[in-house]
Amino acid sequence: MVDRNRFEILEENIESIIDHCREAGIVVCDYQPSVSFQKKINDLVYKLQDVDRMQVEMQDVHVPIELFSKIDAGQNPQLYTRECMEQALAKNEAVRGKLDSLRRFRMLLMSELSRQFPNEMAKYRAVRGDPEAPTLGPAMSSNSQSNGSGTETGPESVSLR
């Protein structure tokens, strides 16, 4: 069964259960001898059994507990998705800032080591396959501006190996 179809079937079954509950509630509140309350309850039980049988098909579906918290609070479940995306973007920015900092540190370290130990660094670059000494680009110079997020503004001309 295609994933979409099984979810549509489950949704239809749940909607049917809701309708049967509403109808049973109407029968209880406005009792009419001609309408069989027992039949309404039996229909509801059969619908619940249908949903229970679908349990096997839904074993691979994992729903985060936080999503149920949003639903219990009366909020739109899509808020959970948006919050997850915002958290992922924030984490991505933090990691990007760390990578930029590491690139700058590597360039500064390589530059300073090349200045202090030119022969050893020439051998190191030969082993690594780096033909020339690293140079500080505009983003690596000491007068680059910080935007406050841990990343520096300006073009990046450095690659981290």
- CA distance linking residue 94 with residue 150, whole number of Å: 7
Q: Output the pLDDT for position 158.
A: 46
Q: Output the pLDDT for position 120.
A: 92
Mean of pLDDT over the chain: 81
Lowest mean pLDDT among 77-81, 106-110, 111-115, 148-152: 148-152
42-89 pLDDT tens trace: 899 999 999 999 988 888 888 889 888 888 999 998 889 999 999 999
Q: C-alpha dihedral over 94, 96, 100, 105, to 10 degrees?
A: 60
